[in-house]
Structure 1
């Protein structure tokens, strides 16, 4: 099976440092992370691709290693060449689409800070999104498409839901020990999956 993505997920805070702490209450959030990656992959490729996720608990409570693989090769039309098929499987990193500065879903959500755009202008290779009458930002089509996708937004909100618990303060994703993304408890309101978004694309 083709490995698509592997990374560490860490929920951190004093509530997870106590000897009585366990990972049971984090299971729904981990399932939401799996859903999030499936939905981002589907949105990116325009069709649903079967993914399999393996999750391994780390010694520290709240820390996990997740590996996503293709559970089956996607069906491709007969006229696809080998090169076309290889290109179809060369999917952009979901972690990058979520976390890279100035071009990712998390960056856009943080830029909006819970506000709905007041206008969206198609500029061909990107969209100019008006946040207020005097503030606007240029956003790639893929990022805006993810923000508009209710399944992506709901999965992300659920993945962050443990931060609502007292004593769990941050959510992080790391690759090879390097942090790619950290979200803090005081940002949660920005990540609510609001009803707006679907009409912009």
Structure 2
């Protein structure tokens, strides 16, 4: 569908084998996903980017799938900002999901799994700001991780980090072992209960002082 972008979040584990999930656990996670998309859109595209999210439930043995549909209000706001074609707006919507790691392989979720709560020692902008999608290299000692610059902006945003933590909060429940994200039946990345320490949101002061070299960038240059 040209006016929507869809993705799926699956909560999996023995507690869900009857295709049921406690609404006291599910509702906050669903609200957190909406908050995560809103916060990410604001970081990447400014105040005019507003995500319109619809949810539809689907089920399979031993899991609880939630299909999210991002609606035309969000895509139209991106079209307004960039005055581009519908195809360009759709690409920018997908870019938010890519920067989060819901789509693609180097977004925020895989980055946090790689970091494993280790302190970052340096962030370098590895491609010029003038490029369509500048990239960054994140160092932990001698180890490094290459990602898009937009992912660094999400990493440094308190609202994004707190919402991400709440999306994964059902993993704290006994019998819910895995959260999988992707599109339809295709799983792009999984987070299990053992990964939770990697997703604890840091205090704002620590995020503001993360070391960056090469340039101090604005994500709005990277659409």
User: Tell me, what secondary structure is at the counterpart of 2:47?
Assistant: coil
User: Tell me, what secondary structure is at the counterpart of 1:117?
Assistant: coil
User: Tell me, what secondary structure is at the counterpart of 2:71?
Assistant: strand
Task: Tell me the residue number matched to 2:112.
Answer: 109
- 1:91 equivalenced with 2:108 (yes/no): no
TM-score where L is the length of structure 2: 0.75
- 1:131 equivalenced with 2:132 (yes/no): no
Task: Tell me the residue number matched to 1:69.
Answer: 71
Shift of 1:28: 0.3
Contact 2:58 2:67 in 1 (8 A): yes
Alignment root-mean-square deviation, CA? 2.7
Task: Tell me the residue number matched to 1:22.
Answer: 21
Q: Which moved more, 1:165-174 or 1:123-132?
A: 123-132
Shift of 1:53: 1.4
Contact 1:76 1:85 in 2 (8 A): no
Query: Which is helix-richer, 1 or 2?
Result: 2
Contact 1:50 1:70 in 2 (8 A): no
User: Tell me, what secondary structure is at the counterpart of 1:194?
Assistant: coil
Q: Report matched runs for 1:142-153 at 5 Å.
A: 142-153=150-161
Q: List runs of 5+ in structure 1 lacking aligned partners.
A: none
Counterpart-to-counterpart distance in 1, 2:16 and 2:165: 20
Contact 1:11 1:168 in 2 (8 A): yes
Task: Tell me the residue number matched to 2:191.
Answer: 183
Q: Over residues 159-198 of structure 1, what are the superposed CA-to-partner deviations in whole Å (9 max), with x where a residue is unaligned? A: 0000001110000123131111211111010011112323
Shift of 1:18: 4.4
Counterpart-to-counterpart distance in 2, 1:47 and 1:85: 20
Q: Which moved more, 1:180-189 or 1:123-132?
A: 123-132
Shift of 1:139: 3.5
Counterpart-to-counterpart distance in 2, 1:190 and 1:37: 20
Q: List runs of 5+ in structure 2 lacking aligned partners.
A: 129-134, 211-215, 217-223
Counterpart-to-counterpart distance in 1, 2:188 and 2:39: 20
User: Tell me, what secondary structure is at the counterpart of 1:71?
Assistant: helix
Distance 1:83 1:145, change over 3 A: closer
Task: Tell me the residue number matched to 2:37.
Answer: 37
Distance 1:3 1:112, change over 3 A: same
Contact 1:49 1:70 in 2 (8 A): no
Contact 1:2 1:70 in 2 (8 A): no
Task: Tell me the residue number matched to 1:198.
Answer: 208
Question: Deviating runs (4+, > 6 A) in structure 1?
Answer: none
Contact 2:52 2:70 in 1 (8 A): yes
